[in-house]
Chains A and B, each alone.
Chain A
């Protein structure tokens, strides 16, 4: 029997994390919630999640981009690359001018992007896609 996958969701919108926590649990995932980047970083190292859902704009100086970069570059030798998926409304605010995949200015980008609002089906499909890899 396959081990239950653990998903870390980092978002300062608690209503949204509540909503996806319920959904993901029902979909048989372990869910860890962090409501700010600091907490997210701690949980990333302590919980060792299989996948990270990350908001971009949070009310802190550290944003999703730098956090993503940190996650992607902290991998030790022999460790598996952890997929990072941005779940954010930021795309439309900035006219989608961010490069979400490229590494402009040496930043490591995320594996995927989901535009808020998102429907349960889409979110689950996206998670499944990246866990299968």
Chain B
């Protein structure tokens, strides 16, 4: 692909920046992901501690209230069954007021044996044994106060108050209750008189969870969803929560996921992570809630809406990407300007170079910078100056040469014209001489004796040579004047070329007893100039006869392949010495060896043949075995 230098530079820089931007973006997104989420999880872990504080605050409040109540002499007196004690009902009323005031679900007094002796809510329902109650039994055993959450069975709930089972069932569908509370020993003179127990059911309660939300998450909302939520589970059941269900109410009665269930309730381990809570993802924390015997009875959950963090992350990523790409744009713009400032002088140079290569040598570059490009431009201008001078010198020489050449051509043409004229003018007297000579020599004018015949034959030989010379010089002059241009047409090789030429040699051949083997088929046709082809065959046959062995054979043949006609003239005779072959087709090259007795050649025939064949687009060469035969082979395009 062809690209401008500027584009290449620009794409290169763009590529580097893009790569850089991608790397930085990926790294920052990674970093944000790791840190933001980790940070959020860390915060959730901090928040759960605060949540536990709020959760336990409730129990501590109960504990403190009980501590104060336990100091009451009236209660101790009641337990000692002293005379001056208030009667059962007035004490019960007093305590029932306290229970209601603190919004407690139960307030019981149990004797040292674990038998309930006062149940403020159900004054007539006493006497049941609570020594198995995990909280009561703990206090009875240690004689120390204790606060913890416990599970209340449906039977127990029935005993503790009318409708309590129904209340618990209403908040979650399970007829059990989860009670947070405390129990304090009632002691007099180191004697354990009994236990006072107060507690509040968590089922359906909102106080703790809403406090958690209010204090930790400041009741904030995000996209109409609370940022923070808290839940108390009884087992895996939500019994107190501010997670909102799809109807907009509290999602009480829904259950926790199986994964959390296994991890927290079965293994007793805290669980931190993303959790799908009812209708949104929360970064969540679940902690197990244990009863006094360390049985896991429920979970405390807090969650922070993940959406907030995700959006924060998205915004951060957007900001980072914005900064990266903004910076990249600025960098690209700057590099573009720099590239341009570098390339403009180069462009000028390139333009000037093009001008020079197109021949306008006056082109120069105006580059003023003092850097490498500036130096380059200076050198360039110097070079252009030199070229310009050089070109002018060359032009001058050229015009001189042209003049000389013209003169030479004129001289050559004049010479060739003269040659043609002289040759032609020589022909007429020669014709008369030959006619007269042969009339005498051949005996038309009467018998002549052998000696006379021999003398005349010698004259005839000279005149024939003279004739050959004239013919060849005429051809040469036409060749050099450019007159011998092939006028191609379809030529019947045998009928139009070979036969007429052979007819001209009949007499000579019969004198030398040379036989012709003409292998050229009647139908062979060529696309050539028949007149010029006749000159070629005239010369080649004339040579074949001249240098042919007496009684020998001449063979004419033709072969053709896809695009060439290969023609050959073969003769038996002395052949051509190898060292002569190279010069054979040159002007004025003669075959005659010094001792050669036959007719003298003009040194032009083969040169003329070669010129004619080459003007047709063909080639000529010679094969020979010295002393035996010679074969001229030439090709013509079809």
Residue interface mask B422-439, A partner, CB < 8 A = 1: 001001111111111011
Residue interface mask B530-555, A partner, CB < 8 A = 1: 01000000000000000000000000
Inter-chain contacts of A13 with B (CB < 8 A): 428-429, 431-432
**CB-nearest residue of chain B to A96:** B531
- The reply to whether B435 and A16 form a contact with Cβ atoms under 8 Å apart is yes
- The reply to whether B427 and A118 form a contact with Cβ atoms under 8 Å apart is no
Given contacts A19-B439, A119-B507, contact A92 B427 (CB under 8 A): yes
Is B290's CB within 8 Å of the partner chain A? no
- The reply to whether B432 and A95 form a contact with Cβ atoms under 8 Å apart is no
Interface size class of A (residues with CB under 8 A): 20 to 34
A13 to B471, CA, bound (A): 20
**CB-nearest residue of chain A to B487:** A97
Is A116's CB within 8 Å of the partner chain B? yes
Given contacts A19-B436, A95-B531, contact A117 B483 (CB under 8 A): no
Minimum Cβ distance to chain A for residue B529 (Å): 10
Given contacts A27-B444, A95-B483, A121-B507, contact A22 B439 (CB under 8 A): yes
- The reply to whether B467 and A89 form a contact with Cβ atoms under 8 Å apart is no
Inter-chain contacts of A18 with B (CB < 8 A): 432, 436
Inter-chain contacts of B471 with A (CB < 8 A): 92
Majority SS of interface residues in chain A?
helix
Inter-chain contacts of A92 with B (CB < 8 A): 424, 427, 471, 474-475
The contact of A121 among B428, B442, B483, by CB within 8 Å, is: B442
Is A93's CB within 8 Å of the partner chain B? yes
A-B pair count, CB < 8 Å, reads 77
A92 to B431, CA, bound (A): 13
Given contacts A22-B439, A27-B444, contact A16 B474 (CB under 8 A): no
Inter-chain contacts of B467 with A (CB < 8 A): 117
**CB-nearest residue of chain A to B534:** A96
- The reply to whether A118 and B431 form a contact with Cβ atoms under 8 Å apart is yes
- The reply to whether A117 and B474 form a contact with Cβ atoms under 8 Å apart is no
Is B484's CB within 8 Å of the partner chain A? yes
Interface size class of B (residues with CB under 8 A): 20 to 34
A122 to B503, CA, bound (A): 10
- The reply to whether A93 and B474 form a contact with Cβ atoms under 8 Å apart is yes
Minimum Cβ distance to chain B for residue A117 (Å): 4
Inter-chain contacts of B463 with A (CB < 8 A): 117
Within 8 A of A (CB), among B407-448: 420, 424, 427-436, 438-439, 442, 444-445
Is A102's CB within 8 Å of the partner chain B? no
Is A26's CB within 8 Å of the partner chain B? yes
A97 to B474, CA, bound (A): 14
A23 to B474, CA, bound (A): 29
Is A32's CB within 8 Å of the partner chain B? no
A120 to B438, CA, bound (A): 6
Is A20's CB within 8 Å of the partner chain B? yes
A15 to B439, CA, bound (A): 13
Residue interface mask B469-513, A partner, CB < 8 A = 1: 001001100100001100000000000000000000001000000
**CB-nearest residue of chain A to B470:** A92
- The reply to whether A23 and B444 form a contact with Cβ atoms under 8 Å apart is yes
Given contacts A23-B444, A95-B531, contact A120 B428 (CB under 8 A): no
Inter-chain contacts of B436 with A (CB < 8 A): 15, 18-19, 22
The contact of B445 among A26, A118, A119, by CB within 8 Å, is: A26
- The reply to whether A93 and B432 form a contact with Cβ atoms under 8 Å apart is no
Inter-chain contacts of B474 with A (CB < 8 A): 92-93
A10 to B8, CA, bound (A): 88
**CB-nearest residue of chain A to B430:** A117
Minimum Cβ distance to chain B for residue A43 (Å): 21
- The reply to whether A95 and B444 form a contact with Cβ atoms under 8 Å apart is no
A23 to B432, CA, bound (A): 12
Within 8 A of B (CB), among A106-121: 116-121
- The reply to whether B435 and A20 form a contact with Cβ atoms under 8 Å apart is yes
**CB-nearest residue of chain A to B503:** A122
- The reply to whether B420 and A19 form a contact with Cβ atoms under 8 Å apart is no
Inter-chain contacts of A16 with B (CB < 8 A): 428, 431-432, 435
The contact of A119 among B428, B438, B484, by CB within 8 Å, is: B438
List 11 A-B pairs, Cβ < 8 Å.
A13-B431, A15-B432, A15-B433, A16-B431, A93-B420, A95-B484, A117-B463, A118-B431, A120-B435, A120-B439, A121-B438
* B contacts, CB < 8 Å to A: 420, 424, 427-436, 438-439, 442, 444-445, 463, 467, 471, 474-475, 478, 483-484, 507, 531
Question: Which 6 residue pairs of A and B lie closest in terms of their CB atoms, listed nearest first?
Answer: A15-B432, A116-B431, A117-B431, A19-B435, A89-B427, A117-B434
* A contacts, CB < 8 Å to B: 13, 15-16, 18-20, 22-23, 26-27, 89, 92-93, 95-97, 116-123
Apart from A23-B435, A117-B435, A119-B507, 12 more pairs, CB < 8 Å: A15-B436, A16-B428, A16-B432, A16-B435, A18-B436, A19-B439, A22-B445, A93-B424, A95-B483, A97-B531, A117-B467, A119-B438
